[in-house]
Amino acid sequence: MGRALENNTILIVDDDVDTCELLRAVFEHAGACVLTVHSIDAALTTFRLSPPHAVVADIRLADSDAYALIKAIRSINVEYKGFTPVVAITGYASPEEQKRAKSAGFSGYFTKPFDPADIVDAMTSVLTRRTDFAA
């Protein structure tokens, strides 16, 4: 995987501590600075205080879902005239869910379990080219 994500900060939003730690290890191994939070409120606070280069968010969170999160992030992006890629990650894989995620503005969609190399490659692509992807 190398240091493909060096000089990038990634915010991970997942209410599952193990998933956060796995993603942290994967992205840090690729050179990223990683912030982890477990709720939408914490994600939005962190996003405003220390805007990341990208966000990875679980679709289903205990306090809401990533659809509410991406709506809020897109609103902040408009306010600050920027764009932050947000990648959905979920254990509930279905073509309908993937289509809904794309329509909501997610830059990518991953299902659990995921291949660490694939998620790093996809994140690298989204950060360097700002292109959509699906895996």
> How far, in whole angstroms, is CA 74 from its chain's centroid?
13
In this prediction, residues 3-32 reach a mean pLDDT of 94
Question: What end-to-end distance do the CA atoms of the chain give, in Å?
Answer: 17
The chain-wide mean pLDDT, for the chain, equals 88
Tokens 């959509």 belong to which residue?
132
Delineate the domains of the chain, giving CATH numbers in brackets: 9-129 (3.40.50.2300)
Q: And the tokens for 118? A: 């694939």
Per residue in 46-101, pLDDT (tens digit) is 999 989 999 999 998 887 888 999 999 988 877 666 789 999 999 887 889 899 99
Run of H or E including 24 = helix 17-29
Q: Look up residue 16 and give its DSSP letter.
A: -
The pTM of this model reads 0.88
